[in-house]
Structure 1
């Protein structure tokens, strides 16, 4: 297990992947701030992580789509733990039901998109300027297979994850020349309350272990995958040692339009 240092801020840390990441990063030596809307569950999780790992932890309650709450939360993390070295944008929702776009509830559809895209944007806007000022930091946006190909019965989640992926590339491009890097990391299918509630996963027996996700995020935090900044990695499909050794070229693992042939004017 690689030793890490500094401060990590993980959103959606009260349960599921976020909680596993908070605990895994704390076990590796980071001070960890967990952020979520559900205060009681979050405080319990962070207290348990502190007791298990001996790390400094902080529970911060905030809605990632609320600018004032996000800015106040980041200010609290800075005051209590220090400037953020690793931001993990994990918070998000999924479509309430498997149904085509025109049958969805408009407010719930937009709420799904907002938690991922507006949430990721607001956290980056509050955290990244200080990373740039200190010339040190890593941002991990939790992606999905639906970042790359839409599921028609999960249109909001597909749009949200694709938007977040494009934002990662824009962010990484703006950060070129600095020691601040942004990544898309799809965790595979981790067994969480959210994934278990999705009909598409009914009867699934093979799940991605949360420890695998932690290993990838820890490698990013350690600066071992900087060549992948602005690009997509997938836990359970990508081999971590291979990713450490590989330097992707051109637009590898980035969203691009596939031309229909050499005579396509967009080729």
Structure 2
């Protein structure tokens, strides 16, 4: 389609949603840097995307929770492709088993939270200052239905996705007055190795097509959904044409307490 330009950085780009987004952005004209921990799979994915789309791609191996690795990765991307115009924070883990919080492995639980929250933070910290300096950029944090309501059997993932959503709102608020925007995008239930491994989704056949996720990220990259910066969007429930035509009001699509009644002092 060739209607986008600039450089995109997509984390977790070796497979699943991240790979789909990377390929979709490349097909629309962006140079795409994919970042992931698994070098062989990532390089294969980015090479295949380059062959299929003719776009410039770069595979960069890094752990998103390691500050030094993230900073080195962003430096490499800048040298090879240029400054990042679109950051997609997609990388992240999920609870190893469906079990209550007190039965989980503490280290694995924290690794899940860190992969989303620390990972998103470190990528933003490395990329956003240059977006602000150039007064141009978009950040997409991959959200979830669990950003809004906790699943007791997936406590780490629920905490992680809610934390990332709070980060998006804080980031968007700090960026007011600039042409840099941040968004939460819940991709729906896309068929990936991670979702297929989750017992709660066994037997599911109604998967969300990855193209829908790509279309929403592309609309954000094109600046079509700027009014929704700092707010929650859902691929399955938010037709892009309706989002384009609507301006949210007040605290719509933000996490807030619900009053217990008309006399609630926090209402």
| CA–CA distance in structure 1, aligned partners of residues 136 and 65 of structure 2 | 25
In the other structure, the counterpart of 1:174 is 174
Which residue does 1:241 correspond to in 2?
Answer: 241
SS in 2 for 1:191: coil
Query: Is 2:95–2:157's contact at 8 Å kept on the other side of the alignment?
Result: yes
Length-normalised TM-score, structure 1: 0.99
Instruction: Quote how far apart the aligned CAs of 1:262 are.
Output: 2.0
Give the superposition deviation at 1:142.
0.1
1:83 corresponding residue in structure 2: 83
Q: Given the alignment of the two structures, is residue 253 of structure 1 paired with residue 257 of structure 2, yes or no?
A: no
SS in 2 for 1:60: strand
Map 1:155-194 → 2, pairs under 5 A: 155-194=155-194
Match of 1:74?
74
Q: Secondary structure in 2 aligned to 1:72? A: helix
Runs of 4+ in 1 over 4 A off after TM superposition: none
Q: Is the 8 A contact 2:2 2:27 kept in 1?
A: no
1:208 aligns with 2:208: yes
Displacement of 1:259 in angstroms is 1.0
User: Where in structure 2 are the equivalents of 1:120-199 lying within 5 Å?
Assistant: 120-199=120-199
Find the counterpart in structure 1 of residue 28 from structure 2: 28
Q: Equivalents in 1 of 2:16, 2:2: separation in Å?
A: 22
Partner of 2:64: 64
Gaps of 5+ in 1: none
Residue 217 of structure 1: how far off its partner (Å): 0.1
Aligned-residue offset at 1:265: 1.2
Q: 1:236 Cα shift?
A: 1.0
Secondary structure at 1:260's aligned position in 2?
A: coil
Name the counterpart of 1:220.
Answer: 220
Question: Secondary structure, in 3 states, of the residue corresponding to 1:87?
Answer: strand
SS in 1 for 2:87: strand
Shift of 1:2: 6.3
CA distance in 1, matches of 2:125, 2:8: 16
RMSD: 0.6
Report the Cα offset of residue 263 of structure 1. 1.2
Distance 1:93 1:25 in 2: 23
After superposition, give the CA deviation of every residue in 1:140-177 in whole Å (9 maximum; x if it has no partner): 00000000000000000000000000000000000000
Distance, in Å, in 1 between the alignment partners of 2:40 and 2:205 is 31
- The answer to whether the Cα contact below 8 Å between 2:4 and 2:28 also exists between their aligned partners in 1 is yes
Q: CA deviation at 1:220?
A: 0.1
Question: Aligned with 2:35: secondary structure?
Answer: strand
Q: How many residues are paired up?
A: 267
Separation (CA, whole Å) in 2 of partners of 1:261 and 1:129: 43
The separation in 2 between residues aligned to 1:2 and 1:32, in whole angstroms, is: 13
- 1: CA distance, partners of 2:205 / 2:60: 34
3-state SS in 1 of match to 2:223: coil
Per-residue CA shift, 1:39-82, capped at 9, x if unaligned? 00000000000000000000000000000000000000000000
Tell me by how many angstroms 1:8 deviates: 0.0
